[in-house]
């Protein structure tokens, strides 16, 4: 009987662990919880796979150029982000590491190799590798544990903001009450008239992993607004990635 009891306990524990799977439920209502708990749950919801191989439809509009392309996103977590844009032909390729960016366009016959100034030009805000990776994963681009946060429920999202406001940069983060990924994040710099907003209208649950199926980016600078909307077409995790990349000869260097 003692052995039977142990077997029964182990079976129940194993079954409970095995059945603990994520469920996306848009009807979950935000309940009153502390800001620290929201932050902990958001950090715990971070992406746990090793690689991402995704395909997006992307709409780009900066007021001068408006186009729709297919974007292939390949991420080796914390090591490399590879992007390729196509529209019948390859429009651009980019390889981003924690220390550098390399980019070239067979369409424009130009290239860039250097630091993160290019992202600053596109997004209007200085961001690094880790922050760009977080942007694509539906995670906060800035460390929410660094400063004490306050929380309020707005439109069924947990909206976090630093208790002590920064005079240079304002940060707002809206966390979903179901899966604790982001609904929205914004980084604004009033003194520089810079404003970066990212919305995550929807997510998909794939291999028990919550992944953004829509990402809407709006970057505002003085006299310029850039909008980039991503719609997920397919994604696979933990697969071998082909990220072959080499800068071609004869292209014009982009100087920033």
Q: Tell whether the model's pLDDT for residue 12 goes beyond 80.
A: no
Q: What is the mean pLDDT of the chain?
A: 90
Q: Are 212 and 181 in contact (CB under 8 A)?
A: yes
**3-class DSSP assignment, residue 49:** coil
Q: What's residue 109's pLDDT?
A: 96
**Side-chain-facing half-sphere of 216: CA atoms under 13 Å:** 6
* Distance of alpha carbon 120 from the chain centroid: 16
> For residue 23, is pLDDT > 90?
no
Q: What is the mean pLDDT of residues 151-178?
A: 92
Number of neighbours of residue 137 by Cβ within 10 angstroms: 23
Provide the pLDDT confidence category of residue 250 given band limits of 50, 70 and 90. very high
**pLDDT above 70 for 8:** no
Assess whether pLDDT exceeds 80 at residue 71.
yes
Set out the domains of the chain in order of their start, with CATH numbers: 33-233 (2.50.20.10)
pLDDT for position 155: 96
pLDDT of residue 21: 64
């Amino acid at each position: 009987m003692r052995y039977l009891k142990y077997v029964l306990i182990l079976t129940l524990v194993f079954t409970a662990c095995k059945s603990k799977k994520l469920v996306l439920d848009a009807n979950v209502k935000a309940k009153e919880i502390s800001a620290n708990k929201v932050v902990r749950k958001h950090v715990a919801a971070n992406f746990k796979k090793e690689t991402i191989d995704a395909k997006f439809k992307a709409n780009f509009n900066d007021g001068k150029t408006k186009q729709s392309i297919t974007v292939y996103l390949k991420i080796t977590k914390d090591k490399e982000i590879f992007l390729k844009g196509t529209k019948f032909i390859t429009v651009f390729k980019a390889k981003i590491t924690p220390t550098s960016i390399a980019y070239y366009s067979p369409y424009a016959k130009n290239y860039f190799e250097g630091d993160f100034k290019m992202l600053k030009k596109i997004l209007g805000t200085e961001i690094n590798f880790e922050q760009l990776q977080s942007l694509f994963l539906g995670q906060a681009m800035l460390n929410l544990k660094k400063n004490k946060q306050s929380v309020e429920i707005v439109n069924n999202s947990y909206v976090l903001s630093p208790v002590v406001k920064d005079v240079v940069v304002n940060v707002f983060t809206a966390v979903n009450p179901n899966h604790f990924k982001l609904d929205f994040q914004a980084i604004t710099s009033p003194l520089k008239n810079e404003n970066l907003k990212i919305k995550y209208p929807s997510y998909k649950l794939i291999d028990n992993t919550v992944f953004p199926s829509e990402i809407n980016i709006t970057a505002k600078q003085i006299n310029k607004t850039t909008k980039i909307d991503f719609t997920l077409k397919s994604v696979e995790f933990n697969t071998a990635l082909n990220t072959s990349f080499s800068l071609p000869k004869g292209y014009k260097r982009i100087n920033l």
